[in-house]
Structure 1
Amino acid sequence: MKTVAVILAGGKSSRMGRDKAMLPVNGTPLVAMLAERWRNVFDGLVLSVDTRERFAHLGLEQVRMVEDARPEAGPLAALETVMNTVPAERYFLTAVDLPFGNPELARALSGRMGEADVCLIQRRSRGVEPLFSFYSRKCLPAVTAALDRGERSFYRGLLPYVRVQKVPENQFPREKLARSLFNANTPEDWEAGQTMFRKSD
């Protein structure tokens, strides 16, 4: 496969206080809604999970689930596991707590990658966005090296060691970008997001 979309859903949801993946959106668990959204955007879809059993009741048989090989080691470790399990040229990472990620924006970002190893959005005030980004398979040695030395951060463990394409946020429609990168980490975030869900109905 050329490009695989990866939904990261293996976190503990400690700040939310309940499983973010199972939060209801019009009666549908958030993770199931996202799986449907990203299913046909690229050449494949992977759900990165801590355990398959956690999602067994959702009827997601058509979605490939990959269990973390380094449990509780964060998104960088999840990327390593997916790269080692699902061969592809590029991997688009998004997270289960990005409920409004826009496929059109993701495709536009993909078109800016060129020959870089990583392509991500540069925010004016928040740095780069590692979890709505593209990673080439060429990153795998650097990812593994970072994890082997105990470094879990994309910023310190990976980005300094690979070719990075940073796309300024002003290259994308402002409202669409803000919506796509809205992060639901806490109950307050989730409550704020309900208005956005109603606007998308």
Structure 2
Amino acid sequence: MIIDNKLIKISAIILAGGKSSRMGKDKALLDVNGTSLLTTISHVAQQCTDEVYIVTPWSEKYRSIVPVECNFIKELSTFQGGLMAFSEALNYVKSDWILLLACDLPFLTVNEVKTWVNYLPSVSEKSMALLPKNEKGWECLCGFYRGNCQESLQSFISSGNRAFQTWLNNEIVEELKVENKQVLFNCNTLEDYYNISNF
């Protein structure tokens, strides 16, 4: 992908291996406006990056609902959290930048992500990630990580840690300014789902 006359390879990693315990049903398959959440986020990722990877233990369940070009990575550390899933994916994904996404972002749009992509050439070389921020900390599962972050991540996990926020708080991260905060909304509960279904 060429941005500001620079050739930058960007891959997307979509995490779709959670328990969906607060939802009570598989979030990836939830229908919003006639399309499943995983289908929607896969199409957004495909139009904004060079390649798309979906990390899940259940590739057979999802293969028919995503673009055929999407790659699946078998998640081995089932239900151990997004940080472990991301770490596993980095063994297979080699890019300058990685767009890491949760599968439950119903309002994320192609135009929004393409705007974000244009910020990448201006990110300091010292910064490991470009992420939105909220009142609780970084939006870990909707932003960009440098492809060479694996060494730092492996070291962090080896020390017995599993918390995304703790890892990021020990690294240099630039804030991705997002005007329309709605695009960062995660559909985590049945109440969330009913609200977006009636949006």
1:166 and 2:175 matched: yes
Structure 1 distance, partners of 2:161, 2:168, is 12
Deviations 1:80-133 (A, max 9, x none): 12211121111111111111113333333341533211111123x332211111
Match of 1:117? 128
3-state DSSP class of the match of 1:98? coil
Displacement after TM superposition at 1:23 (Å): 0.8
* Root mean square deviation, CA, Å: 2.0
Match of 1:137? 147
Residues 27-38 of structure 1 mapped to structure 2, 5 A cutoff: 27-38=34-45
Q: TM-score, normalised by structure 1?
A: 0.84
Displacement after TM superposition at 1:76 (Å): 1.0
1:120 maps to amino acid:
L
2:131 maps to amino acid:
L
1:7 maps to amino acid:
I
1:127 maps to amino acid:
G
Match of 1:199? none
Runs of 4+ residues over 4 Å off in structure 1: none
Structure 2: any 5+ residue segments left out of the alignment? 1-7
**Alpha carbons of structure 1 residues 41 and 56: separation in structure 2 relative to 1, 3 Å:** closer
3-state DSSP class of the match of 1:46? strand
Structure 2 distance, partners of 1:84, 1:42, is 19
Residues 180-191 of structure 1 mapped to structure 2, 5 A cutoff: 180-191=183-194
Displacement after TM superposition at 1:77 (Å): 1.3
Q: TM-score, normalised by structure 2?
A: 0.84
Structure 2 distance, partners of 1:155, 1:122, is 11
Identity among equivalent positions (%) equals: 29
Structure 2 distance, partners of 1:41, 1:59, is 15
Alignment size in residue pairs:
188
* Higher share in helix: 1
- Higher relative CO (Cα under 8 Å, sequence separation at least 6) belongs to 2
Structure 2 distance, partners of 1:54, 1:147, is 29
Pick which of 109-118 and 91-100 moved more. Answer: 109-118
